Structure 1
Amino acid sequence: MKVELQTISSPVFSKSEPVLKSQNQQEPTPKAEASAQVKPTKDQLEKVIDAMNDMLKPAPTSSKFVLHEKLNDYYVQIVDQVTQEVVKEIPNKKFLDMYAEMIDFMGIFVDKKI
């Protein structure tokens, strides 16, 4: 919790006094007070809870290690078991392809004999 020191000048006192003010505290607004008083219905709570439970269900995915041929190194694919679609690659295969091409390009100047 951060605390900020502010000076407030008062018309009653001639000198200003330091006052501690927390940055996490906010002045209650009439709109915030009105929304705090409204209670959700049972149906609304059930809908929100069902939506949260659906969000928290694990997705049917599996991981697969794949060998990148040019780099001779492995990367991970996250595959959806239902559709067999690749959801994510770690690191990205396009990035690895680009890296392999850069190594080949630099190898022209460094590694190969003329």
Structure 2
Amino acid sequence: MELKAISSPVFQKSEPVLKSQNLQEDTSKAEASVTVKPTKEKLEKVISAMNDMLKPSQTSTKFVLHEKLNEYYVQIVDETTKEVVKEIPNKKFLDMYSEMIDFMGIFVDKKI
């Protein structure tokens, strides 16, 4: 008795499709890894849209620049009391992170 390999046209046709899907996934991963900073105009449009959405809850959003890190963080402000309800990420965390960077700079940035 002799065994013969069975080739199915379904498997042969599906292999190129899977390879092309893998290429598409690889390109989408590569595109996702490239970060583009939004322009100030785009940020303002997004912020105004978010504020319009938050009006019924009497809150608004505010983007604040952290001076040492030169990065923005979000504040959610109660409109009636003007109190900051939440910060994303927390400003204290950003302050701690910038201090850690400064501390590590003592060992790394300076020549001995």
TM-score normalised by length of structure 2: 0.49
More helix by share: 2
TM-score (norm 1): 0.48
